[in-house]
């Protein structure tokens, strides 16, 4: 997606050979016009796939996921990183190691928000080693449902996330794919959408 690549080129900041900072338009401040375009792009691509729900991981996946859900006319479910007292009843949980923080947490989904006949689209901001998306897929499977695809805003194609997901039979579609990062260097390879 050209607009996303342009935004990354002009406002993204490569902190190291593995971490890209996009706080100005995705992770801290959010650009709603860009999020709307991202939502339209995913919705157009996935329109004939029978998707019934969109799942995302809090917090940076929420903005693109909600715009995608809006344009597809389906609900969006936020997978929680912290359990709360209001999260009652049956829950599915799986352990995830955070790429940026290096800590681990229990990703949680209430059984109320997944049905065995659901076809799920998982949306997230980044794909690095595929921990978050693999964990989200495990929760979908615990609910007896099917992962139709994983839609990613920024994939770092030099990390192993895509291979890990594809080896597990999960399709990945990324709007921007970064082949190399370094201080002041952001190189792209052909994106999926």
Q: Which residues make up the interface to ligand 5GP (CB under 6 A)?
A: 19-22, 27, 57, 60, 99-100, 124-132, 161
Closer residue to ligand 5GP, CB minimum distance, 16 or 44: 16
In whole angstroms, the minimum distance from the beta carbon of 132 to ligand 5GP comes to 3
Closer residue to ligand 5GP, CB minimum distance, 42 or 115: 42
Closer residue to ligand 5GP, CB minimum distance, 20 or 120: 20
In whole angstroms, the minimum distance from the beta carbon of 87 to ligand 5GP comes to 20
Tally Cβ neighbours within 10 Å of residue 159.
18
What would the two tokens of residue 158 be? Answer: 């030099």
Listed residue (5, 59, 45, 11) closest to 179, CA to CA: 5
Half-sphere exposure of 68 (CA within 13 A, CB side): 31
What would the two tokens of residue 32 be? Answer: 């709603």
Closer residue to ligand 5GP, CB minimum distance, 118 or 125: 125
In whole angstroms, the minimum distance from the beta carbon of 110 to ligand 5GP comes to 20
Q: CB neighbours of 142 closer than 8 A, spacing ≥ 6?
A: 92, 94, 109
């Amino acid at each position: 997606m050209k607009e996303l690549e342009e935004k990354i080129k002009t406002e993204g900041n490569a902190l190291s050979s593995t971490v890209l900072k996009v706080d100005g338009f995705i992770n801290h401040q959010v650009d709603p016009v860009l999020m709307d375009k991202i939502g339209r792009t995913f919705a157009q691509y996935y329109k004939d796939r029978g998707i019934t729900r969109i799942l995302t991981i809090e917090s940076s996946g929420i903005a693109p996921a909600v715009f995608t859900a809006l344009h597809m006319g389906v609900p969006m479910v936020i997978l929680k990183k912290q359990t709360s007292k209001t999260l009652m009843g049956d829950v599915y949980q799986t352990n995830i190691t955070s790429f940026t923080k290096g800590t681990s947490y229990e990703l949680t989904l209430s059984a109320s928000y997944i049905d065995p006949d659901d076809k799920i689209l998982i949306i997230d901001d980044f794909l690095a080693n595929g921990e978050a998306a693999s964990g989200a897929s495990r929760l979908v499977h615990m609910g007896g449902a099917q992962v139709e695809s994983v839609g990613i805003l920024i994939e770092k194609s030099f990390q192993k996330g895509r291979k890990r997901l594809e080896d597990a039979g999960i399709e990945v579609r990324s709007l921007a794919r970064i082949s190399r990062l370094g201080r002041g260097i952001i190189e792209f390879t052909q994106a999926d959408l």
